[in-house]
Structure 1
Amino acid sequence: MELLSGAERNQLFERFQHDAFHLELRDDYSVPEENGPFQNWLTGATTDTAFLAPWTRLVYQATSRGMTVRRVRVVTEPATPYLQWEHTVTPLNQEAGEDIRWLPRRLLPDGLSFPFAGRDWWLFDDRLLAVGHFDPDGRVLGSQIMEAPDIVTACVRLRDQLWHLAIPHAEYTL
């Protein structure tokens, strides 16, 4: 299976036409660029948010062209320290135009199952999926591209269901 790097996946943001949606299912991520800022936040030190600038630029470029960038974070409560930190930096994503909602696992419908063994995924324009793969320590390995109509359609339905259940960032407290 061929996996796209994060940089290659981000190139999809230059090509989508309407909507990019991210489903996050992990309570912790091991993203090297975030380690220092996250550790600073844990100790109460000033957190340099410059690590987010490449992402927020990418989002702003898309949203300023009229595209939507959305994200649902399915989370365990009580929230892990990582999710608490993510919650504090989310306003930077929002300033760039990203719409982020939170969905506590306790609010998930009974019997709901997630495709791809519970991996995160991006859905672009209801036609292309980029499914995230992680190593056992939680580090991102890359994204697998899928375009099979039946799989994409199932993810569109799941996205719509979760989006309506999820709580807008401004209304969600940890």
Structure 2
Amino acid sequence: MTTPDGVYRTLRAAILDGAVPPGGQLREAHIAADLGISRSPLREALTKLEEEGLVVKIPYRGAFVVEVSAREVAEIDSIRLRVEPYAAELSAEALRGAERPQLLQTVEDLRRAMEEDDIPASIDAHLRFHRLFYDLSGHGVLQSLWNGWETKLRLHLSV
């Protein structure tokens, strides 16, 4: 927990679980005191969260959880409608072959989460399902697009 990676995982979970809402400020002094750590690993963790797209740092104001608008999600969806079938086409062979167990497990995880009304698990499984198409497409640009979208979609769905 005192390492930058431990702090990163803790803060990431708090953001994605909604404990720190979109637009919420991540006050270094408070977080460091709550976690019993110095600011150095906290700053490293915040930088990693910023690189991931979960946090934005504003000079002289601090770090804030990114806000994702409905319009931004709609724009992402409009592009996904066009490129995701292509990603699925490129990944089809892998999903019929060696990666089929991963696909079936993801579908099962999604089904179970929905039956149990477990919203966080449902969101996670839903995003993993779509990630499979992009990751297994072997197409770097498609993978990069998904990486940029996934965090924003996760934040939007978690609200």
Same fold per superposition (TM over 0.5): no
Structure with larger RCO (C-alpha < 8 A, sep 6+): 1
Structure label with greater radius of gyration: 2
Q: TM-score, normalised by structure 1?
A: 0.27
Q: TM-score, normalised by structure 2?
A: 0.28
Which is strand-richer, 1 or 2? 1
Which is helix-richer, 1 or 2? 2
